[in-house]
Amino acid sequence: MMQEFVLSTDYIELVKLIKVLGFSKTGGQAKLFVEQGNVLLNGQQEYRKRAKIRSGDELQVAGEIIKIRKQE
């Protein structure tokens, strides 16, 4: 399944995005999710909890693909 996330700023930190998208209920859960290698950023495993996610990036989380774009 694919969804799109629209940024209203230049970037969002990875753990914040995971929380906003509903993959975790708390920041602690989101951090654990990333630490366990459950996130792909542009096809590569991402372990940086505060990685800056920007327009054009593509995440894969829990089998879902999320395309990131900037608000126009």
| Tens-level pLDDT at each residue, the chain (72 residues) | 789 999 999 999 999 999 999 999 999 999 998 999 999 999 999 999 999 999 999 999 988 999 999 988
Q: Which structure tokens are listed for 66?
A: 């999320």
Cβ(63)–Cβ(3) below 8 Å:
no
Cβ(39)–Cβ(61) below 8 Å:
yes
CB atoms within 10 A of CB 41: 19
> At the top level of CATH, which class does the domain 2-70 belong to?
alpha beta
